[in-house]
Amino acid sequence: MKSMSGQVIWITGASSGIGEALAYELSTMGNTLILSARNKERLKEVKAQCNNPAKVFIIPMDLGNFNLMPSLVSHAIAATGHIDILINNAGISQRSLIADTHFDVYKKLIDINYLGTIALSKAVLPHFIAQQKGHFVTITSLMGRFGSPFRSGYCGAKHGLHGFFDVLRMEHEKDKLQVTLVCPGFIKTNVAVNALTADGSPQNVNDHATSRGMEVHTFAKKLINAVAKKKFEVYIGGKEIAGVYLKRFFPKWLHHVVQRSKVV
């Protein structure tokens, strides 16, 4: 596995799940970390468990507060001197039928998963351009490549991230910027527990498939390897990854496979 060391890496959604696992793994490699999430106290706990807490900085963040992103970026640069890698990990999932879902739920999914990620990335972009280097790592989902029932708004937001960051890569190749899109399958986190239901309340129970998914520390290692190799796009998970290729070559077959799977 390729590793990364001596980098300044900003991780959003770092208070739990994938973000927390990345913090622990990257801290053992000698990196300086910036950890962001809404829960400041939980971030402090993650920092304390990192390999070298003195090289870990906490910047609480709510992705829904778009206008605060430039000031948060300035704060991050003041604390660490510069940023090498931004890992856009924060987000929220969904478990509800289209016909039942309140429109406000869709708005929240777009605000957090799509617009908030873009707002932070755009705020970091001038810094990356000025230093003529920088790596955007955006964790989307296999749902950014094909759809599945009960996840309509989540799929829409994740599909949008692929379009935006593919273009960002094209427009800023001249500035020596890198973009890696990471598409997880089923990973053992609380993403399903926290998923929004039709009225915006959390599901509060885990999905069967998620509970049997890849261990989060295994996922973190695979993600770091892909970033170190500067891959454009990577799919990490189990057999569900096949859906990406079925969508590309046999979309009707994928439709029937997903309908029969009844994965919720």
Catalytic residue among 106, 114, 154, 235: 154
CA angle 20, 22, 25 (to 5 degrees): 115
- Main-chain dihedrals φ then ψ at residue 206, nearest 5 degrees: -85, 155
Asked about 245 being catalytic, the answer comes back as no
Q: What's the sign of the alpha-carbon dihedral 237, 87, 122, 40?
A: positive
Reading the block at residue 211, the tokens are 């509970």
Number of neighbours of residue 170 by Cβ within 10 angstroms: 10
Q: Can you point out the beta strands (E) in the chain?
A: 8-12, 32-36, 56-58, 85-88, 134-139, 177-184, 233-236
Reading the block at residue 108, the tokens are 């929240």
Reading the block at residue 55, the tokens are 């090289």
Q: Report the Cα 60 to chain-centroid distance in Å.
A: 16
Strand pairing class (134-139; 177-184):
parallel
Contact at 8 Å (CB) between 90 and 19?
yes
Residues carrying an active site annotation: 154
